[in-house]
Amino acid sequence: IICVEVPKLKLNNGKLMPAIALGTYLGFDQGGVVKSVNKQLANVVMNAIDIGYRHFDTAAIYETEEEIGEGIRKKIEEGAINRDDIFVTTKLWNTQHKREQVPLALKQSLNKMGLNYVDLYLMHWPIGLNDDYTFSDVDFMETWRGLEDVQTMGLTKSIGVSNFNLDQLKILIKDASIKPVAIQVEVHPQMIQSEIIEYAKSEDMVVMGYSPFGSLVMRYGMQFPGPKIDEPVLVEIARKYNKTTPQVVLRWQIDRNVVPLPKSTNLKRLKENIDIFDFKLEQHEIEIINKFHNNVRYTLPSFWQTHPYYPFEKIDNPQANPFLNKRKE
Ligand code: NDP
């Protein structure tokens, strides 16, 4: 493949979102955030643009904004693209949930990226935290007013949320002056999110699916139970279309109107992951993949589960809070 032409979805405010985004969360290790080595990520972004990626998903907490901005700016300087060919999504971190903090937070992100607007600004979690990572009592509706402010100010073209559950999303939509264009949640064969997808469709919102490969790939350096890259059910579908199983799983998301956010820093896999727009799954194949659903989440910050706005099901033995540990060091 040379350069894939990625289709675009129309958002409820008339703007267009490319149907797949490059995920750019490089992970945390015990000492904190894993940083990109030797500007690797800026080069990945430039390669990604060459092969057709037009949408980049980042967040203030990932510490990748600088390099994403650098890659995009270099490609604009080269004349390969214009700013309005690219769709940039970033996210507000939990410690900046007060209404008046939101413009400052987005300006910080824009400064790091060297851009004067983003295309989509998401509230990363409904959970507000103080600077010391203790729970704050800022309501997510107050934070949403801040997101509405930054759209009105022109710092972002669109606004949305991430990691809201269905009830929280309904509360938000009921009170919002500006309706969210998108909700970003975990979507993969073990977490198919049918309810949120259906509700989003009824509200003309886009679902963005994070961790799209689920158990197909290693997570936190480990294999988890669930369909693997050589799962026979997926291999059979992949053979039929002359594709790989990761491509089938990404296409399953496209065919369910989910914008997948596959992360790769490897050129071969970058190409593989975007080469999914020349085939389409049949309904019964979508349903075969849906059957892997077993409610497994790989992002489950149970250390926040006593927060009043924790969005997920509570578990018996919550994890220790890694953010608090980080502070003590
Ligand atoms: P992914 O499901 O994208 O998996 C990434 C892993 O899969 C990497 O180890 C990558 O390795 C590997 N990989 C990529 N392509 C292939 C392939 N074709 N075949 C085999 N292995 C492959 O997981 P993430 O958790 O990173 O999620 C994706 C993105 O979603 C994040 O980067 C972030 O942008 C977003 N996200 C948002 C969250 C939120 O709270 N809103 C939470 C989590 C993620 P390699 O790089 O070597 O190819």
Q: Give the DSSP letter string of 3-33.
A: -----EEEPTTS-EEES--EE----EETTEE
Expressed in angstroms and rounded, the spacing between residue 281 Cα and the centre of ligand 1 is 22
The bridge status of strand 28-29 relative to strand 32-33 is antiparallel
Determine, yes or no, domain membership for 83: yes
Residue 32 reports pLDDT greater than 90: no
Per the DSSP assignment, residues forming a β-bridge with 170 are none
Determine, yes or no, domain membership for 77: yes
* Residue span of the structural domain in which 214 resides: 8-328
Average pLDDT, the chain: 95
Q: Which residue, judged by its Cα, is nearest atom 26 of ligand 1?
A: 263
User: What value does the mean pLDDT take over residues 114-130?
Assistant: 98
Determine, yes or no, domain membership for 252: yes
**Residue 221, pLDDT score:** 84
Determine, yes or no, domain membership for 1: no
Give tens-digit pLDDT for 247-286.
999 999 999 999 999 999 999 999 999 999 999 999 999 9
Structurally, the chain folds into a number of domains equal to: 1
Residue 329 reports pLDDT greater than 50: no
User: What value does the mean pLDDT take over residues 134-154?
Assistant: 97
Distance (Å, rounded) from C-alpha 114 to C-alpha 112? Answer: 6
Residue with tokens 């998301």: 253
Tell me the pLDDT band of 328, cut-offs 50, 70 and 90.
Answer: very low
Closest C-alpha among 231, 232, 224 to residue 296: 224
Determine, yes or no, domain membership for 3: no
Tell me the pLDDT band of 2, cut-offs 50, 70 and 90.
Answer: confident
Give tens-digit pLDDT for 58-117.
999 999 999 999 999 999 999 999 999 999 999 999 999 999 999 999 999 999 999 999
Give tens-digit pLDDT for 4-29.
999 999 999 999 999 999 999 987 65
How far, in whole angstroms, is CA 118 from its chain's centroid?
14
Q: What atom in ligand 1 is closest to the CA of residue 273?
A: 18
**Residue 258, pLDDT score:** 98
Q: Where does the chain have alpha helices with state H?
A: 40-51, 65-78, 101-113, 140-152, 166-175, 194-202, 232-241, 245-255, 267-274, 283-290, 322-328
The bridge status of strand 22-23 relative to strand 16-18 is unpaired
What CATH number should be reported for the domain holding residue 185?
Answer: 3.20.20.100
Tell me which of 62, 121, 133, 309 is the catalytic residue.
Answer: 62
Concerning whether 62 is annotated as a catalytic residue, the answer is yes
DSSP per residue over 55-106, as a string? EEE--GGGT-HHHHHHHHHHHHHHTS--GGG-EEEEEE-GGG-STTHHHHHH
Determine, yes or no, domain membership for 300: yes
Distance (Å, rounded) from C-alpha 215 to C-alpha 73? Answer: 34
User: What value does the mean pLDDT take over residues 171-181?
Assistant: 98
Tell me the pLDDT band of 299, cut-offs 50, 70 and 90.
Answer: very high
Q: Ligand 1 pocket: which of 230, 263, 265, 270 to mutate (most atoms <8 Å of CB)? A: 263
Q: What atom in ligand 1 is closest to the CA of residue 217?
A: 7
Determine, yes or no, domain membership for 2: no
Task: Give residue ranges with CB within 6 A of ligand 1.
Answer: 23-25, 57, 124, 162-163, 184, 210-213, 217, 246, 261-266, 269, 272-273, 299
Determine, yes or no, domain membership for 87: yes
ipTM of the complex: 0.99
